[in-house]
Amino acid sequence: MLKRLALASLLLLAGCAVQQPSQQTAPAAAPAPPAFRETEMTAPKAPPADKVEKIPPAPHAVEAMQWRPGRWHWDGRAFTWETGEWIDRPSKSVLWSPGKWAPRGAGWVWVPGKWI
């Protein structure tokens, strides 16, 4: 103990720091996948035809959820497919109205979906 204290004192005087062992923390959880982007966007051309998706079983009570179908996302260079997903309904009295691509001017615009 005395040797350890003397060594710590010498290291501090020499400009070094002694760090006590810290408790080990668990590694951070992997980030969640990006959320389905429901924002208006424009594209210079029409999107491809929608893909046919096989709807997986709902992760929990289907009465509290609704399937949001996949759609084409314009990333500024090309269309990429975003797979559909089960989403929680804010209440049993509302339904999800999916978004759609619509022609506007010389291009196309994504009109976001909404609860109705």
In the sheet that 100-104 helps form, which strands lie side by side, from edge to edge? 41-43, 107-111, 100-104
Summarised one tens digit per residue, pLDDT across range 74-114 is 999 999 999 999 999 999 899 999 999 999 999 999 999 99
Neighbours of 41 (CB within 10 A): 16
pTM, 2 dp: 0.63
DSSP-assigned beta bridge partners for residue 87: 66
pLDDT recorded at residue 60:
87
* pLDDT reading at 18 higher than 50: no
Q: What is the DSSP string of the chain?
A: -HHHHHHHHHHHHTT----PPPPPPPPPPPPPPPPP--S-EEESSPPPPPPP-PPPPPSS-GGGEEEE--EEEE-SSSEEEE--EEEE-SSTT--EE--EEEEETTEEEEE--EE-
Question: Any idea where the domains of the chain sit in the sequence?
Answer: 36-48+59-116
Q: What is the pLDDT of residues 23-58, one digit of tens each?
A: 444 444 333 334 455 677 899 999 999 999 999 999
